[in-house]
Amino acid sequence: MKTLAIKAASRAEYGKKATKAARRQGLIPCVIYGGGENVSFTVEEKAVKPLIYTPNSYIVELEIDGKKELAVLRDVQYHPIREQILHIDFYRVQEGKPVSIAIPVRLTGNAEGVKIGGKLALSARKLVVKAMVENLPDELVVDVTPLKVGQTIFVGDLQFEGLQFVSPATQAVCAVRVTRASRGAAAQQ
């Protein structure tokens, strides 16, 4: 899995007044928790843009005042009108323990149903999986070649070595939808 390094500075002052002052300076208040003490810190807004505004998932290497921590992005809070990032939560990656993270889905192949006029629809752009950090892939590659018109691939149908799906087994990943062209092709056969 890809890693992104971000420099951070620990926070000594808390509360509404201190966080507003930090945001005016272009800093985002953050917290890292899990497997030890909670650490509050700030990061520059431009440092986290490659992490937030991307479809990819990353393991984040935070350098907080010289101390390095591995973490995953857990939650981002936005201002309701300005779309400004207000707060970010990170979850500490602990050695020997699995981590849950949303991983993007990529479809490969040419579905049988699409060849006769069906429409391939991706229902889940990301799926939540649980695995050891070293087993986490950059993306989940799903082969759609055997799909016929009206068929769906569910999370329960997927098998990846070393991964356990947190997303429900009944969640649809992709499907080939019925179209007028596919109905006409089926009627001619």
Tally of structural domains, the chain: 2
Nearest-angstrom CA–CA distance, 49 and 78: 13
**CA 117 to mean position of chain CA atoms:** 32
Cβ pair 31, 39 in contact under 8 A: yes
Q: Whose CA is closest to 173, among 75, 100, 104, 74? A: 104
Per DSSP bridges, beta strands 85-92 and 27-33 are: parallel
Q: What is the CA radius of gyration of the chain?
A: 21
Indicate whether 103 pLDDT > 80. Answer: yes
Instruction: List pLDDT tens digits, range 18-77.
Output: 888 888 888 889 989 888 788 889 999 888 888 888 888 888 898 888 888 889 888 899
Instruction: List pLDDT tens digits, range 121-166.
Output: 999 999 999 988 888 888 999 999 988 888 899 999 999 888 899 9
**Of the residues 94, 128, 160, the one at which a domain ends:** 94
The verdict on 15 and 43 lying in the same domain is yes
The verdict on 116 and 61 lying in the same domain is no
Read off the tokens for 18.
């201190």
- Average pLDDT for 96-116: 88
Nearest-angstrom CA–CA distance, 183 and 139: 34
pLDDT in the model for residue 37? 85
**Of the residues 74, 94, 114, the one at which a domain ends:** 94
Per DSSP bridges, beta strands 99-108 and 126-131 are: antiparallel
The verdict on 119 and 50 lying in the same domain is no
**CA 92 to mean position of chain CA atoms:** 16
**Of the residues 67, 94, 121, the one at which a domain ends:** 94
Domain extent at residue 27 = 3-94
**CA 6 to mean position of chain CA atoms:** 18
Nearest-angstrom CA–CA distance, 85 and 52: 10
Q: What is the CATH number of the domain that holds 47?
A: 2.40.240.10
